[in-house]
Structure 1
Amino acid sequence: MTVAPFIPSEGRHLHLHDLRVFHGTEAWIFDLDNTLYPAKSNLFAQIDVRIRDYVAKLLDIPMEEANTVQKDYYQRYGTTLRGLMEERDIQPDDFLDYVHDIDHSVLEPDPDLGRAIGLLPGKKFIFTNGSRGHAERTVERLGIAGHFEDVLDIVATDLEPKPRRTAYDIFLQKTGVSPARAAMFEDLSRNLAVPHALGMHTILVVPTGTREVFREAWELEGDDAPHVEFVTDNLTGFVEKVAGALKS
């Protein structure tokens, strides 16, 4: 008997991919901010404000000008931190400590997500351009910390940020993950281009019910590009369906 393919329809896109392509996946890689928690929580918005504040104080410029510098560095270098390092020769520790000094209590525990991730076979990793401390506080608040093998943060990748190829190479070297047996979840399309080229399955996580979020337009360009295999606005539901497909 021929089994009909499972066609996912999460989000505002219909990607004609059979979820059974995840058979053989041994490593599940999750971005942190606006991926493991919903963008509507505005947790990352706190970081965004503190980055702008840091830039304004460092360069002694008005907040409006600091915002322009922040976004320019972010676009050209992958992170504002990398731009400040290359153009202003700053040390990263103070920056990382300052911008991640935020209120994580705005996050609601997410036991359903934890259960869903627990259904996936193999190892799970967090791969973030943020700091390890921020990642650990975030997943502890969400109640999902116990599901992850390790956290690879911006320090672990020698301050090389996604989407730079070097960051992914370092991740793979340190974790021993085989790209052909891995899947990556991200909220930024551009951060999935290298994983897809390396052979990973790629999943773009967009805000619940909409792709209209408070980001620059260039950030969301390419969400229907070939390097994006799946799009979902419900991470928990998507992971549950993947786990279900793997059992079938």
Structure 2
Amino acid sequence: MNDIPAPRQANGHTVADLKPFASVDGWIFDLDNTLYPRHANLFLQVDQRIHDYVGRLLKMGPTEAHAVQKDYYRRYGTTLRGLMEEHGIKPDEFLEFVHDIDHSVVQPDPRLAAALQRLPGRKFIFTNGSKAHAEKVAARLGITDHFEDIFDIVRAGLLPKPNRETYDGFIAETGIDPARAAMFEDLSRNLAVPAALGMRTVLVVPGGTAEVFHEDWEVEGRNEPHVEFLTDDLGAFLETVLDAIPAA
């Protein structure tokens, strides 16, 4: 499989041995900008809807609404959590409004679907978004049947990653063993707790480069020890893992 790019660690070195994944029987995937590529720009639609919601709710202009939105996202993990904490909003209307988007921009990914199907063990989507949004994305990608469950922001009690309680709740509900699990994320900060729990951690970055992020703060921590592997092609990375582990 010479056409598959080798996975890279966060420090840029080529990974020669992926055998630690041989013990993994719990595969956990973030949704947005992880299971589908960032260049699909799906989350940009969500981001704009959040921006519009903040502006309408707080009666702000575009610049001020953007600043508040990103401040809450950075400090609370999601803008929703910030609006709940600081303005007491109820989540249902927010989640319905911000996920009312065009999911058709997400294209089927047969390569990813085939790799997910081959992974040994249980597979989960673990997202700060809604279950309805995750189901629509999974259907577009053609991967719905490959996941045992979707653990969304509502299941998390509206407490988003990277809060430790959210991961504890996920583990309690699913019964996975963190020492036999792997977490795939597009934000480094959301991998700190999984690494501390003993999971394998993989940071998924934009295709074609390991250097492009939308916000400066998103880059923070990607070279920290809690980011074990780095890839800009999830399907190719999973194929390489499958080639490396005896269970495949």
* TM-score category (smaller protein): over 0.9
Rounded Cα–Cα distance in structure 2 between residues aligned with 1:210 and 1:245: 24
1:103-142 counterparts in 2 under 5 A? 103-142=102-141
Instruction: Work out whether 1:197 is the aligned partner of 2:196.
Output: yes
- Partner Cα separation in structure 1 for residue 58 and residue 119 of structure 2: 46
Deviation at 1:9, TM superposition (A): 3.7
Give RMSD over aligned pairs: 1.6
Distance 1:194 1:15, change over 3 A: farther
After superposition, what is the alpha-carbon deviation per residue over 1:119-178, rounded to whole angstroms, capped at 9, x for unaligned?
Answer: 110000000000000000000011111100000000001001000101101100111111
Higher mean Cα deviation, 47-56 or 204-213? 204-213
Does the 8 A contact of 2:210 with 2:231 survive in 1?
no
Whichever residue aligns with residue 147 of structure 1, its letter is H
Per the TM alignment, residue 16 of structure 1 is displaced from its structure 2 partner at its CA by 4.5
Aligned residues: 242
| Paired residue secondary structure (1:58) | helix
| CA distance in structure 1 between the aligned counterparts of 2:148 and 2:206, rounded to whole angstroms | 26
Q: Deviation of residue 18 (structure 1)?
A: 2.2
Matched AA of 1:179: P
Change (3 A) 1:33 1:16: same
Match of 1:32? 31
Partner of 1:82: 81
The percentage of aligned residue pairs carrying the same residue is 61
Q: What is the deviation of 1:213?
A: 3.5
Q: C-alpha displacement at 1:68, in angstroms?
A: 0.2
What is the CA distance between 1:204 and its match in structure 2? Answer: 0.3
Q: 1:245 — aligned with what?
A: 244
CA distance in 1, matches of 2:234, 2:7: 12
| Deviation, structure 1 residue 212 | 4.1
Secondary structure of the structure 2 residue equivalent to 1:23? helix
User: Within 5 A, what are the aligned runs for 1:142-153?
Assistant: 142-153=141-152
Structure 1 residues without counterparts, runs of 5 or longer? 1-6
Distance 1:17 1:207 in 2: 22
Look up the match of 1:181.
Answer: 180
Distance 1:17 1:185, change over 3 A: farther
1:133 and 1:240 map into 2 onto residues whose CA distance is 28
